[in-house]
């Protein structure tokens, strides 16, 4: 029996990932409290985190690899057997159909991102480029709009809620779902301050709406009509920020004409909003010194979702609430969580690839369509499409028809029930973890956390799973190559950088993330080897910030360049707003 102790980690039940302390006693996580030393959350704790012990020790945890039988049941098998058989079947698929026939579905979830680099790295080494995940189900319309307005799909907006005097919440309920750090504290501060106001646009009288100065109960699915009517009201009354528009935007004249053509009364009636409330909302926006618009899945995963995202950002721009203290911003990144893939399409279905991602709604067609490049293998890591994707029957039919389906997860999910192999992973509190959901502004925090629990017997953390698979597939150099590189990492980061580049150049088929894990990772403190791929991200971030400072007057929407090169925090604080494009089609 070991003595209990408090250990620092982070909550993984929403993407804010607040700092917490957990009481670990005899290998079990028993209590949770807010971490007052966390510079991000400063001891903040919501009701969700109190349930972490239940999830951490759930009775449905998997503890051995499983292989599906012809009758649909499963046999327990050894790790070596599972890895050997999966590697052989992967080789056969690549030989017959190429790596493009393999897709990654998932690759990390809430506060569970460390394994993503290893899963995506190994599959890319096999030639796979197709990725489905929750972000592509929820957010790609927003990413597409960002690409057209700001110049890249990785230019992502964040909210400086701390300093706004008007918070406009559309399709979100931050009192319950958060979405920005210490959400309840900030909502209470706004409620108690007579100089600050809150507007909530939501069909339901949510907990956040109860606190609002103005609640606009739009008819479900009519957010685009409400936003269009609001924008038209601002334009017709000429209460827009002409100086901002003139200095920082292009293409406004065409957009203005489209907005003037909107029948305000008709669109407001469609949204079930009175003209009086519409005009009151417009007046509050006009009176605000600094407005933040906070949106979420309520408008991003429903009717007219892409148009909603465009109109939301149009409201930010026309009112001049962008790039100033207390307004919406383009936040910095350690590493973008998605990519930039303008004008790319997925051949089997013809759908757009947005942010380097494919939408889960096309997954069944991508598998079942009679096309030479259709998907034949799905590697599903930390995801459950049989439960979460639309059209369950089609998703299940697609999963059953795959030549190979492998699930890496902690429990026997609905998707795992349909897989050929199920590989049991260590949980988020049993391994090194971090989150790439660091969207804050003005200060952006990134944290790496060591495990606080011993791994459950029979499970492996993702770097170990992918190490074994890479060795079986010949995608990891031997120790004759890795040992000298490991010694270089112990001597000097600069020496390691030179040696690492040489090794990758000489072994182009190697999985770089795994090379880092087995070399640089072994020199990291507290057993945090799995965080080794962040070294490359940190170098790229430092170079991007330096280049951004030198870039000075580059303008968003004026062409290429990495968004990270143009949007570190310090750059946008000193250069409040850059140029933005306004697509005019409503």
Give domain limits for the chain: 5-56, 61-153+345-425, 157-330+575-581
Q: Is the pLDDT of residue 119 over 60?
A: yes
Residue from 517, 518, 541 nearest 114 by CA = 517
Is the Cβ–Cβ distance between 127 and 101 less than 8 Å?
Answer: no
User: Which band of pLDDT confidence, cut at 50, 70 and 90, is reported for residue 549?
Assistant: low
How far from 78 is each of 81, 224, 424, 446, CA to CA, in Å? Answer: 5, 54, 11, 37
Best CATH choice for the domain 61-153+345-425 from the list 3.80.10.10, 3.40.50.740, 3.40.50.1390, 3.30.70.1140: 3.40.50.740
pLDDT in tens, 378-430: 999 999 999 999 999 999 999 999 999 999 999 999 999 999 999 999 999 99
Q: Give the pTM.
A: 0.90
Q: What is the Cα–Cα distance from 381 to 413, expressed in whole angstroms?
A: 12
Q: What is the Cα–Cα distance from 484 to 141, expressed in whole angstroms?
A: 46
Helix (H, G, I), strand (E, B) or coil at 572: helix
* CATH placement of domain 5-56: 3.30.200.210
Q: What is the pLDDT of residue 574?
A: 24
pLDDT in tens, 211-235: 999 999 999 999 999 999 999 999 9
Q: What is the Cα–Cα distance from 477 to 288, expressed in whole angstroms?
A: 59
Q: What is the pLDDT of residue 581?
A: 46
pLDDT in tens, 293-334: 999 999 998 899 999 999 999 999 999 999 999 999 999 888
Is the Cβ–Cβ distance between 444 and 331 less than 8 Å?
Answer: yes
H/E/C letters for each residue in 416-439?
HHHCCEEEEECCCCCCCEECCCCC
**Buried-state track 437-468, b at ≥16 Cβ within 10 A, e below 16:** bbbbbbebebbbbbbbbeebeebbbbbbbbbb
Q: What is the pLDDT of residue 572?
A: 23
Q: Is the pLDDT of residue 51 over 80?
A: yes
Rounded to an integer, the average pLDDT of 16-38 is 94
User: Which band of pLDDT confidence, cut at 50, 70 and 90, is reported for residue 16?
Assistant: confident
Provide the residue count of the chain.
586
Q: What is the average pLDDT value for the chain, to the nearest integer?
A: 91
In DSSP notation, 460-517 reads: B-HHHHHHHHHHHHT-S--HHHHHHHHHHHHH-HHHHHHHHHHHHHH-TTS-HHHHHH
Residue 358 contacts by C-beta under 8 Å, 6 or more apart in sequence? 103, 130, 131, 132, 136, 346, 351, 366
pLDDT in tens, 196-205: 999 999 999 9
Best CATH choice for the domain 157-330+575-581 from the list 3.40.228.10, 3.40.190.10, 3.40.50.970, 2.60.40.10: 3.40.228.10
Q: Is the pLDDT of residue 1 over 60?
A: no
User: Which band of pLDDT confidence, cut at 50, 70 and 90, is reported for residue 361?
Assistant: very high
Report the range of poorest mean pLDDT among 55-64, 97-106, 550-559.
Answer: 550-559
Q: What is the pLDDT of residue 555?
A: 30
Is the Cβ–Cβ distance between 227 and 203 less than 8 Å?
Answer: no
How large a percentage of the chain has pLDDT more than 70? 93
Q: Are β-strands 166-170 and 291-295 bridged in parallel, bridged antiparallel, or unpaired? A: parallel
Is the Cβ–Cβ distance between 303 and 311 less than 8 Å?
Answer: no
Place of tokens 């090794």: 503
Whether the domain at 5-56 and the domain at 157-330+575-581 fall into the same CATH topology: no
**Buried-state track 553-571, b at ≥16 Cβ within 10 A, e below 16:** ebbbbeeebbbbbbbbbeb
Q: Is the pLDDT of residue 484 over 90?
A: yes
Rounded to an integer, the average pLDDT of 31-54 is 92
Q: What is the pLDDT of residue 245?
A: 96
């Amino acid at each position: 029996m070991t003595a209990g102790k408090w250990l620092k980690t982070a909550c993984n039940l929403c993407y804010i990932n607040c700092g917490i302390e957990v009481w670990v006693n005899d290998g079990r996580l028993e209590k949770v409290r807010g971490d007052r030393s966390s510079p991000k959350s400063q001891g903040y704790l919501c009701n969700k985190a109190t349930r972490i012990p239940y999830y951490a020790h759930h009775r449905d945890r998997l503890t051995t690899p499983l292989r599906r039988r012809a009758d649909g049941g499963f046999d327990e098998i050894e790790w070596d057997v599972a890895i050997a058989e999966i590697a052989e079947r992967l080789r056969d698929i690549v030989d017959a159909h190429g790596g493009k026939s393999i897709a990654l579905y998932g690759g990390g979830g809430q506060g569970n991102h460390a394994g993503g680099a290893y899963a995506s790295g190994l599959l890319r080494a096999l030639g796979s480029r197709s990725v489905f995940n929750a972000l592509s189900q929820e957010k790609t319309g927003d990413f597409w709009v960002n690409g057209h307005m700001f110049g890249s799909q990785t230019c992502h907006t964040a909210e400086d809620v701390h300093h706004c005097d008007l918070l406009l919440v559309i399709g979100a309920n931050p009192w319950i779902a958060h979405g920005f750090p210490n959400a309840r504290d900030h909502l209470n501060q706004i409620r108690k301050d007579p100089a600050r106001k809150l507007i909530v646009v939501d069909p339901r009288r949510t907990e956040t709406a109860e606190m609002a100065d103005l609640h606009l109960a739009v008819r479900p699915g009519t957010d685009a009509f409400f936003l269009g009517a609001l924008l038209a009201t601002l334009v017709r009354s000429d209460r827009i920020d002409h100086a901002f528009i003139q200095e920082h935007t292009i293409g406004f004249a065409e957009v203005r004409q489209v907005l003037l053509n909107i029948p305000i009364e008709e669109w407001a009636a469609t949204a079930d909003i009175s003209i009086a409330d519409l005009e009151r909302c417009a007046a509050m926006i006009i009176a605000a010194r600094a407005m933040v618009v906070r949106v979420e899945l309520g408008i991003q995963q429903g009717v007219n979702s892409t148009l909603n995202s465009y109109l939301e950002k149009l409201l930010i721009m026309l009112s001049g609430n962008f790039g100033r203290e207390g307004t919406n911003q383009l936040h910095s990144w350690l590493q973008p969580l998605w990519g930039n893939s303008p004008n790319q399409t997925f051949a089997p279905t013809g759908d757009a690839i947005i942010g380097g991602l494919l939408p889960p709604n096309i997954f069944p067609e991508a598998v079942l369509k009679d096309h030479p490049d259709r998907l034949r293998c799905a590697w599903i890591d930390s995801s459950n499409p049989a439960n979460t994707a639309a059209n369950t029957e089609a998703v299940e039919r697609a999963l059953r028809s795959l030549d190979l389906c492998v699930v890496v997860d902690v429990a026997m999910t609905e998707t795992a029930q349909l897989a050929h192999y199920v590989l049991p992973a260590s949980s988020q509190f049993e391994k090194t973890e971090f989150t790439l959901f660091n969207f804050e502004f003005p200060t952006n925090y990134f944290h790496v956390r060591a495990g606080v629990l011993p791994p459950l017997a029979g499970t492996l953390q993702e770097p170990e799973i992918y190490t074994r698979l890479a060795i079986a597939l010949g995608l990891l150099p031997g120790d004759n190559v890795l040992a000298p590189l490991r010694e270089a990492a112990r001597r000097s980061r600069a020496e390691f950088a030179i040696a690492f580049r040489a090794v990758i150049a000489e072994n182009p088929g190697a999985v770089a993330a795994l090379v880092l894990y087995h070399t640089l990772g072994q020199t990291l403190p507290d057993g945090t080897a799995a965080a080794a791929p962040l070294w490359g991200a940190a170098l790229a971030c430092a170079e991007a910030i330096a280049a951004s400072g030198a870039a000075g007057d580059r303008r968003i929407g004026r062409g290429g360049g990495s968004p990270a090169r143009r949007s570190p925090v310090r750059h946008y604080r000193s250069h409040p707003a850059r140029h933005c494009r306004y697509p005019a089609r409503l």
